[in-house]
Structure formats: structure tokens, C-alpha cells
Amino acid sequence: MNREERAFVEELYRSMLPSLLAYGRAARYDASVVHDAAQETFLVACERVETVMAHESPEGWVASAFKLILRRAGQNRARDLALLERLERENLRADAVKSDERDPVLLYGDLAKNEDFRLLCRLTERGCTLAELAAELGISAAACEKRVQRARKRLQKYFENS
């Protein structure tokens, strides 16, 4: 990205970020989801800077991209929560053991040792954002998002096969 493109994206970011965040809050999305979606939107804008610059309304392009990314992020968070609830229900049915502590090893057995499962738990139970999780793992936000997508797919296959 050259200086002109960088300045263009920075100006879009400065001018549009407050309104994008306000839109996400007004649409009643979780604040961490809104923030992650805004960051991802500008990551996509950087990746496609030539398209955005050539667009008749760059602000409209960014707003549309944000809405799509935000909707997808909200759906992913809801799907993650549903998956974890399903895990909990299935394991509670299998084990009549009830405990005041929510020890993942007791609730989920071998699945608690599964890296994919632990990754999704960080996102949903602890409420981590993708950016926080990426920092924890020492990877980029884009790599973290890819890792989460792959974890979801592998866990869905796990349940389809069990």
C-alpha cells in the first residue's frame, strides 16, 4: 500500500469509525463484536484499497462492508454460544454428575482437552474479542479469525460423527 492509499484509508477510518460503532450499538450487537467487525472492515478496505478508492462512494462501500461483516460476526457468535450450550446439555445428560463448579474436564471430558474447543470457549465464555484472542495467541487478527472458522468446522464434524 502506497502513501496515498494509506492516507485515504486512514481518513476513512477517522471519519467513519464513530458512526460505524454507533450503528453497531444501535443494532444491539455486543460491543466486542461491533469493534471486531469495524476492525475487520478496515482490514478488508486495506486489502481492496484500489476498489474502494475507485468506488463512486467509498463511505458507502465501507458502510455496506461493515454491515455484512457485523451480521456475519453476530451470527458466528450466536452459533458459538449455541454449540457450547449443546455441548453442555449433551454432557450433562451423559453425566448425572452435578457440580457447583463449572470444571470443563468434568463437563466435557476429553473434549475439554481439544484445542478447538478451548479456543471457542475463550471467545464465548470469557467474552474475548478476536483481537484479544489474537494477541493472546501471538498471531494476527486475520489468522485468529481463520483459526476460529476452522475450529468451528472441526467441532461441527465432531458432533455429526458422534
DSSP track, 46-74: HHTHHHHHHSS-HHHHHHHHHHHHHHHHH
Cα Rg, the chain, nearest whole Å: 19
Regions in the chain scoring below 50 on pLDDT: 96-100
134-149 pLDDT, tens per residue?
A: 888 888 888 888 888 8
Cβ(1)–Cβ(42) below 8 Å? no
Q: How many residues are recorded in the chain?
A: 162
d(CA 162, CA 157): 9
Eight-class DSSP state of 27: T
d(CA 158, CA 28): 32
The pLDDT of residue 97 is 47
Q: Which residues lie below 8 Å from residue 95, measured CB to CB, with a gap of 6+?
A: 106, 107
Domain ranges of the chain: 3-161
The pLDDT of residue 157 is 77
The pLDDT of residue 126 is 72
The pLDDT of residue 79 is 79
Q: Side chain identity at 44, as an amino acid letter?
A: V
Element (H, E) at 21: helix 3-26
Cβ(59)–Cβ(16) below 8 Å? yes
pTM: 0.53
90 — phi, psi (to 5°)?
Answer: -65, -40
- Above pLDDT 90, what percent of the chain? 33
Which residue in this structure is represented by grid cell 479456543? 119
